[in-house]
Amino acid sequence: MQNREMGRMPFEVSDIYNGAPLGMVLFGPRGEYLRVNARLAEFNGTSVEAHTGKTIADIIPDIAPRVQALIDEVMATAQPIRRALFEWERAGEHRTYAVDWYPVFDGDGHVRAVGAIADDVTEAQAREQMIV
């Protein structure tokens, strides 16, 4: 890859992150939001800016203990966790989300953060239940 192309890469990654149809978040080890995209903010019922300086307990207290346990597990094991399901009420509507968790490493190979990618699977689950 040419240097000119590599110089553009951070902008492309940012564009992918912000334009993703899935919720994307980066957590620090204490459950603090380091970065969140618009889709995840929508899932949480608030703005991207509202997450700044907050923890999961500040934004979604009902699921905070479970989220923190998953963050702790990924931090300790450096292994991803696939398709953890979460259910909660948002704006009076029951929603189900499938979330994949993964370690984010620093240049020395230490886990420094935990990323997560969330998909709203509420409608898919409803279709599956109709088939059964």
Q: Are 79 and 104 in contact (CB under 8 A)?
A: no
Q: Are 87 and 99 in contact (CB under 8 A)?
A: no
The token pair that represents 89 in the structure block? 């009420």
pLDDT tens digits in sequence order for the chain, 132 residues long: 444 554 555 667 778 878 889 999 999 999 999 999 999 999 998 999 999 889 999 999 989 999 999 999 999 999 999 999 988 777 788 889 999 999 999 999 999 999 999 999 987 766 766 665
pTM (2 decimals)? 0.83
pLDDT score of 10: 60
pLDDT score of 90: 74
CA distance 98 to 19: 19
SS3 for 1?
coil
